[in-house]
Amino acid sequence: MAGPEIIRLDARVVSVITNAVFRVELANGHGLVAYAARAEKARAEAVSPGDRVRVELSPCDMSRGRLVFREEENG
C-alpha cells in the first residue's frame, strides 16, 4: 500500500483482546480493532486500557487498523 493512502489517527485503548490485539475508540466515537505492528509486538504487552495510541487505517476497511506506537505519558 502506498504511503499517502494510509490514514493515521489518534485513539484510546478500550480493551485488550489478546496480547497484540486491542479494541480502540477514535475521538469521534468510532470503535475498531487494532493489531500491533510486527516491530511493536514486544512493546504492545505494556499497552493497557485507557492508553492513548496512534493507529493506521486503510480507506478500504475502516473497521480494523494497525497500532503504530504508544504515546508516553507526560507527568
Strand 61-70 with 31-36, pairing: parallel
Confidence (pLDDT) at 75: 44
38 domain-assigned? yes
| pLDDT confidence of residue 2 | 54
Let me know if residue 75 belongs to a domain: no
CATH number, domain of 19, equals: 2.40.50.140
> Which residues are bridge partners to 52 per DSSP?
12
What digits encode the pLDDT tens for the residues 24-50?
999 999 999 999 877 777 788 888 999
Q: Looking at this protein, which amino acid is placed at residue 7?
A: I
pTM of the model: 0.79
The per-residue pLDDT for range 44-55, each reduced to its tens digit, is 888 899 999 999
pLDDT band at 73 (very low <50, low <70, confident <90, very high): low
